[in-house]
Structure 1
Amino acid sequence: MSVMGIALRTPVEDCRRFARPVAIRLTFGMVLLWAISSRLG
C-alpha cells in the first residue's frame, strides 16, 4: 500500500511543480501575442 501511495504521490507533485511555470509561460505568451497583434492591427 505504501509503495502504491508513493508511486501515486510523486507524479502528482511533479505535475504541480511542472504545471505552474508552464501556465505562467503560456499566459505570458498569450499576452505577448495579444500585444504584438494589437500593435500590428
Structure 2
Amino acid sequence: MFKVIPTSVFYSIIFVLVSLPFGITISILSGLVLQLQSNNILK
C-alpha cells in the first residue's frame, strides 16, 4: 500500500519532465515549418 503512492508521483513527475521538452520542441518545429512555408511563398 505504501509503495503505490510514490510510484504514481514518480510517474507523474516523469510525465511532466517528458511532456515539457516535447511541447517545446513541437512549438519550435512548427515555427520552423511556418517560416519555411512563408519563405517558399515569398520566393
TM over 0.5: yes
Task: Give the superposed CA RMSD.
Answer: 0.8
Aligned to 1:19: 19
Other structure's SS at 1:10 match: helix
Identity of aligned residues (%): 12
Matched pairs, number: 41
Aligned to 1:35: 35
- Give the structure with the larger helix fraction: 1
User: 1:10: Cα distance to partner?
Assistant: 0.7
**Partner Cα distance (1:2, 1:28) in 2:** 41
Q: Computing the radius of gyration over CA atoms, which structure comes out larger, 1 or 2?
A: 2
Unpaired runs of at least 5, structure 1: none
The TM-score, its normalising length taken from structure 2, stands at 0.86
Unpaired runs of at least 5, structure 2: none
1:4 maps to a residue whose letter is V
